[in-house]
Amino acid sequence: MVRAVGNTLIRQRQRGGPGNVYRYLGRRLLHSIPVVVAVTVGAFVIIVLVPGDPALNMLGYNATPESLAILRRDLGLDRSVPEQFIGFVRGAVVGDFGESILKKEPVRDVIATRAVISFSLLFYSAVTAVVVAVPLAILSAVRRNRWQDHLMRLGSMITFAMPSFWLGLLLALFFAIRLGWLPVAGYDKTNVLTILRSLTLPAATIGLFLAPILARTLRSSIIEVLDQEYVEAARARGYRESRVIGRHVMRNSLIATVTVLSLIIGFMISGSVIVENVFAIPGLGSLIVDAVLQRDYPVIQALVLFFGLTVIVINLAADLTYAAIDPRVRLVTG
């Protein structure tokens, strides 16, 4: 990524637009500011809009007035709303979201340990999706309107239509219970291998949910490129079909994959909430479910903000990646 951006930079300089990449990056960051503000306000408002008294909601009706008062003070609920907001933003900037009511640990630490697990899972899922989708998309595009294509499109419709928890249960039933190849659920962090084994079924579940979207977009973009004259020209020069597809077709089709991947990152995060619960993976998804059920407001606030920022960062990264993949994408906004 860094190297790719570097290449873009060199090209920009050659074109006589010095520092174009930085200007672009700066502009995109500026555009992100309103979104970040909105997400922050949204995360903060959660605690203000909770009907009734948050402290009472959290501690239950049997709480003593003293403990309620302590919690209100800890949460800053005894101050005015603007003061609370400033306090929240101040804390957010340095990553301080207070203490988890449930775990009695700083929210930051709770999120950090689980974020590693969740991001490994997301990455694993994305890799699975790409590994499944790319060959299928190529096969389907090259064998356009033949049985291979129809099978792929039907199959992708089916896996896409299946709810992810159902797909997850089916996979667990078959690979974990029937064949016994992988653990049914849980997260064994003994070593890298056991971690991989624990994450395989959840990653396959999310990956199989994503792969159809990816495969279908990629299929249509491959078909579009296949019809281009430069592909025929490459064949006419006596190149192998594998080279024609790999070097001339795929590189021009990949931009669609990047777009779709970045767009469905939101899906992936919400998908991971369900899948992590199905497979008992202690990631952010199961954390947010626990936090909501237990009314652990500091954790909820922090997670909402964290998910929002993650999506913003990923989209920005995707935009920069386009420019690296496709030199024709001009780094101009607006």
Partner 1 sequence: MTGAGRPGDSTKDVLLRVEGLTKGYPVRRTLGERIRRVPARRLMAVQNVSFEVRQREVMGIVGESGSGKTTLGRSLVRLVDPDEGTVLFDGVNVRAVDGSDLRRLRRRVQMVFQDPFTSLNPRMTVGAAILEAGKVHGLVETGRHDEFVSRHMERVGLTATLADRRPRQLSGGQRQRVAIARALAVGPDMIIADEPVSALDVSIQAQIINLFRDLQDRLGLTMIFIAHQLSVVSQVADTVAVMYMGRIVEHGTLEKVFGRPEHPYTQALLASRPDPNPRHKGDPPLRGDVPSPLDLPPGCKFATRCPFVEDECRQVEPALEGTEPRHLVACHVKPRPWEGGIS
Residue 236 lies near partner 1 (rule: CB under 8 A): yes
- CB nearer partner 1, residue 178 or residue 328: 328
Give helix then strand counts, H and E, for the chain.
15, 0
H or E element: which one contains 205?
helix 192-226
Q: Taking the alpha carbons of 296, 299, 303, 304 in that order, is the dihedral positive or negative?
A: positive
Q: Kindly tell me which residue out of 237, 242, 293, 334 binds partner 1, with binding defined by CB under 8 A.
A: 237
Residue 252 lies near partner 1 (rule: CB under 8 A): yes
Find the shortest distance in angstroms from Cβ 143 to partner 1. Answer: 17
DSSP class of 333: -
Residue 235 lies near partner 1 (rule: CB under 8 A): yes
- CB nearer partner 1, residue 31 or residue 251: 251
Q: Taking the alpha carbons of 315, 212, 125, 168 in that order, is the dihedral positive or negative?
A: positive
Whole-angstrom Cα distance, residue 302 to residue 96?
9
Stretch of 91-99, 166-174, 240-248, 288-296 lying at the interface with partner 1 (CB under 8 A): 240-248
| Interface pattern 7-36 for partner 1 (x via CB under 8 A) | -------xx---------------------
The one-letter amino acid code at 160 reads F
Q: Kindly tell me which residue out of 247, 270, 313, 332 binds partner 1, with binding defined by CB under 8 A.
A: 247
Residue 242 lies near partner 1 (rule: CB under 8 A): no
DSSP string covering 23-83 = HHHHHHHHHHHHHHHHHHHHHHHHHHHSSS-HHHHHH-TT--HHHHHHHHHHHTTTS-HHH
Residue 189 lies near partner 1 (rule: CB under 8 A): no
E strand segments, the chain: none
Long-range Cβ pairs for the range 39-42 (8 Å, 24+): 39/304, 39/305, 39/308, 39/309, 39/312, 40/88, 40/89, 40/92, 40/305, 41/85, 42/304, 42/308
Residue 142 lies near partner 1 (rule: CB under 8 A): no
Stretch of 149-157, 194-202, 243-251, 263-271 lying at the interface with partner 1 (CB under 8 A): 243-251
Whole-angstrom Cα distance, residue 291 to residue 309?
19
Find the shortest distance in angstroms from Cβ 14 to partner 1. Answer: 7
Find the shortest distance in angstroms from Cβ 321 to partner 1. Answer: 14
> Considering only residues 272-331, where is the footprint of partner 1 by CB under 8 A?
326-328
Residue 243 lies near partner 1 (rule: CB under 8 A): yes
- Burial code (b: 16+ CB inside 10 Å, e: under 16) for 255-283 equals bbbbbbbbebbeebbebbbbbbbbbebbb
Stretch of 27-35, 98-106, 202-210, 234-242 lying at the interface with partner 1 (CB under 8 A): 234-242
Find the shortest distance in angstroms from Cβ 150 to partner 1. Answer: 18
Stretch of 50-58, 167-175, 235-243, 316-324 lying at the interface with partner 1 (CB under 8 A): 235-243
- CB nearer partner 1, residue 176 or residue 255: 255
Site residues, partner 1 (CB under 8 A): 14-15, 228-230, 232-240, 243, 247-248, 251-252, 326-328
